[in-house]
Structure 1
Amino acid sequence: MTTSTTLEPSAAAPLLDLQALVVAVRRRRRLWWSLALLGMLAGAAVAVLMPAPPTAVTKVLVAHQADQPNDPGTLIRTDVALLHTTRIAGQALQSLKSSEKPEDFMEDYTGTGLTNNLLQISVTGESETEAVARAKALADAFVADHVKRIQEAADAEAKTLLDQRDRMRDELAQVDKAIGSASPGGGPKASANMESLFARRAELTSRISDFGRRAAEARIGTPQLVAGTQIVDAPRAVRHSLPGTAATNAAIGLVLGLVLGLAVAAVGTVVADRPVLRRDIAANLGASVIAELPLRSGRPWRRRRTGAARTGLTTTLARAVRGSTEPLALLELGCARCTGAIALDLARELAPEDPVVVVDGLPGRPLAGRRAKPGDPAVVGGEQAAAGPQQERRLGVGSVAPGAAWTDLPYLGTQTVLVVRAGRGSTAWLHTVARQLADLGLAVIGVVLIDPDPRDRTDGTLWDGPHTALRGRNGRPARHNGAGRLHRERGTVRAARVPDNDQEAR
């Protein structure tokens, strides 16, 4: 007889919850929208405070000796690199009769290869007239340098070919001299020698003619390259529109600021690790979310919905207080003002039945120091509550925020409702709160979530929570026989039967 136990595999927690990340980033929209607005304003301010200097442009058609239809742009990139040399910059400054250093002048112009043979030169200056003059001088210097390099290359090639031709002519003269000095008679050996001399003379004559033709062609192609290198677009000033530049810079700043804001919000969310989904908050606190309230009333058409939610929460809490003899405490985390308002609403609801005293345990005692209105319940501190009559119903208000006095919480109430603002407490702190309350023996009957995400569709109910939960008081509790297990699927509850070990053994 053997027994076996079937265990359900637990789903591995993802390294990064994208849903929680998106919700947390969306909740921090004030941050990234502020950065986007700041970027837009900074871009517009740069356009106004730092306007573009006067600029002139010109275009130069550059002819290359090694032009190929499939050239990937190597030659024009070489021309751009040559444009940024002290030699061309110095020649342009010399024509302008300027004492500026070529290194400084090189920072004021740029070259861009538009096509394989078209070079655009942009030059800045103190004024439009100066920018145009500098652009013309720079273009002329580049064209002159390019033509000079073409002519020098052609002359060097022609000189090499002509030198080869001259050496061939000297050798031909020696062959002619050998032929002239040979005797007309002789044997077969002399005849063979004469034939070789005549063959060598014919070969030298052909090579001399070829070198002469190639030297002529090298010089003939140079004028075409020189004529093909010219300024095709005269230097002209570039008109800058301040509104257009400001709009462009503002758009760029808006995009950059938005991207930076989103990145900062995402990184901050991951680093801070502060749950915002009701599912995560309930799981970390070990208690179900019983109600949700917005942080502010919001727009006028939403105030009625907010008021109805507060009324429903007050009714739920009043029903829990009436059905128990133990005092109730509302403990806040990141929302002291809302917690005080909920406590006062609950006290007003219970006041017609029994005298209610609100015990203020919040840091700074904001409830005890407030201005009381007619009909409001009495608000006392912890010392006054201990000396008061015991027949009064007490409603405690305290805090579980960092720095809270944990040992004072049992005096506020033995059963608690946590009022938590979404995104205020980290995962580690929520675990600390749950552990401290469990160590103090305080039963958490539910969580009131403040400022929830309106698009949150996660389930904040813990179906295996403690029997003290409010949902276990409003109806017949689910029966557990040791082999049953509650599951939550798509908003419906179903019981899944796990085989008992005894039945498996049978």
Structure 2
Amino acid sequence: MTTSTTSESSATAPLFDLQALVVAVRRRRRLWCSMALLGLLIGAAVAVLLPAPPTAVTTVLVAHQDDQPNDPGTLIRTDVELLRTTRVAGKALESLNSPERPADFMRDYRGTGLTNNLLQINVTGDSDAQAVARAKALADAFIADHLTRIREAANAEAEALLDRRDRLRDELAKVNEAIGNRPPEGDPSASADLESLFDRRAKLNSQIDEYDQRAEEARIGTPQLIARTQIVDGPRTVRHSLPKAVVTNAAIGLVVGLALGLALAAVRTVVADRPVLRRDIAANLGASVIAELPRRSGRLWQRRRTRVTRERLTAHLARTVRGSAEAEPVSLLELGCARSTSVIALNLARALAAEGPAVIIDGLPGPQLAKRRQKPGDPTVVSGERAAAVPHQELRIGVGSVAPGTAWTDLRYLGTRTVLVVRAGHGSAAWLHTVARQLADQRIPVIGVVLIDPDPRDRTDGTLWDGLHAALRGRSETPVRQNGTGQRRTERLPVWAAGGPDNDQEAR
């Protein structure tokens, strides 16, 4: 039993391939590394070109009337917000005799709650002396405003208690007057009323004493709060270290640039939809990956493996060309890797030189083959009208391109069978489909795909186990074998070619 078909795998494919996204983002490391480096340089430049202004700092101990050990910091946060008010800023500017507007001054300082009762004030200025003077004036203004609010609250509470006490005294006077106007003795009802009046008077006296005591406590507690609210750390200048600022800003710029670079790379990957994994490239082209080659020479310890891979690919292509030199000439069609395709074609021509002269038909749009320096023993390279004069007895290797702008009808003159040389991540999925369909229209079977610059961590399978090794509509009409019913079976078409009217006719 074979694996699932191409149509089934496409139907069950996830809408978002995380593995392909990670690989594509990793391949764009030049982008996000450049962004990270740019952020690092910008951060360091900002620290050098825009140094921190002179700054002074002071610490104020703030006593609250409602202080609680389990306070989550609500009171000190309120003090921080009160510090950033035009009233406090205006009083500080008045003490400094400064014409600056309070709204402008508020941008030059900030408050930070260190604990539930410690408030740190940072102030900037044009010089160290000005920053220290501003910090002192701002701390004094805040303390004065805080103490004013404490006194007003204490006085308001005391006045409320005394007002309540005075109302009770008025009521007590009425009770005393009722007791003084008591009826003659001997009346039972009068005795009961008198007893209730005495009880009421006793309660009123008790409540009056309680309100007097509470009013006194409210006034007594205010001086304690006033004495505790003070500057505990006098204003002093803050020394800024330029190397430390450079390192800090550079690190922040590096992180921000790296994050932006990764986000930009991810967005470009999703929008561009350029397959990178060999699995996706093979599925979109409808042909298996037969070899992988790096785009550059690579490191010293990787060159031997690259050389062995090139030799195997050359031997495989040489066997293919020998078996179909006259009937079905083979071409190499590149997509995003003209230089690598030229090298493969030259190596193939040299390998075939032992059996006879080999000619490379140059159909590349660039000068990779046409303007190269001829070396002794290199094959002949012809292009244009000279290609039509090449004898059919000679081994011909066509080299062309399937990049946008390709003249599709000319590809069949380069070879009736082809090997696609594709750089990973160069073409979009839509363009890979276009290439496969155009080659199908020209009846050019794809022998296989040579993947250039593959991802070294790609572990996906680039072999189409249940599809055509040459994805094309023309080959789909070729009988493969007879099944048990005596009827000939044809190969299955790729998904992208399954719905067209021509395909329906061919299927019938």
TM-score (norm 2): 0.87
Partner residue of 1:198? 198
- 1:371-413 superposed Cα distances (whole Å, 9 cap, x missing partner): 3222222211131111333322221111111110000001111
Aligned-partner residue type, residue 111 of structure 2: G
- Percent of aligned positions that are identical: 74
Q: Which amino acid aligns with 1:303?
A: R
**Aligned counterparts of 1:178 and 1:278: Cα–Cα separation in 2:** 107
Q: Structure 2 CA distance, aligned partners of 1:158 and 1:15?
A: 72
**Amino acid corresponding to residue 46 of structure 2 in structure 1:** V
**Scaled by the length of structure 1, what TM-score is found?**
0.87
Query: 382, 395, 400: which is aligned to 1:398?
Result: 400
Give CA-to-partner distance per residue, 1:181-233, whole Å, 9 cap, x none.
55665634444444344334333322222221111111111111111211122
Which one of the candidate residues 415, 418, 425 is aligned to 2:417? 415
Q: Which residue does the alignment assign to 1:65?
A: 65
Q: Is the 8 A contact 2:43 2:250 kept in 1?
A: yes
Aligned ranges for residues 68-147 of structure 1 at < 5 Å? Answer: 68-147=68-147
The 5 A counterparts of 1:83-482 are 83-180=83-180, 182=182, 187-324=187-324, 325=326, 326-364=328-366, 366-466=368-468, 481=483
Q: How far 1:163 sits from its partner (Å)? A: 2.7
Q: Is the 8 A contact 2:448 2:469 kept in 1?
A: no
Which range moves more in the overlay, 360-369 or 340-349?
Answer: 360-369
State the AA in 2 paired with 1:19. Q
Go from structure 1 to structure 2 and tell me whether the alpha carbon gap of 1:355 and 1:133 turns closer, same or farther (over 3 Å shift).
same
Amino acid of the residue matched to residue 55 of structure 1? T
Contact 1:417/1:444, CA 8 A, preserved across alignment: yes
Task: State the Cα RMSD in Å.
Answer: 2.4
Separation in 2, partners of 1:382, 1:400: 17
The CA deviation string for residues 226-267 of structure 1, in whole angstroms up to 9 with x for no partner, is: 112111222221221111111111112112211222222222
On the 8 A contact 2:288/2:469 being kept in 1, the answer is no
Partner of 1:54: 54
For residues 321-363 of structure 1, give each alpha carbon's deviation from its aligned partner in whole angstroms, at most 9, with x where no partner exists. Answer: 1112321111111111111121122112222322222111111
Aligned length: 470
Question: d(CA) in 2 for partners of 1:297 and 1:480?
Answer: 48
Contact 1:288 1:465 in 2 (8 A): no
Pairwise CA distance, 1:28: 1.1
In 2, the alpha carbon distance for the partners of 1:148 and 1:63 equals: 13
1:212/1:392 Cα in 2 relative to 1: closer, same or farther (>3 Å)? same
Classify the secondary structure of the residue corresponding to 2:354: coil
> Which stretches in structure 1 are left out of the alignment for 5+ residues?
1-6, 470-477, 486-506
Letter in 2 for 1:145: D
Unaligned residue ranges in structure 2 (runs of 5+): 472-479, 490-508
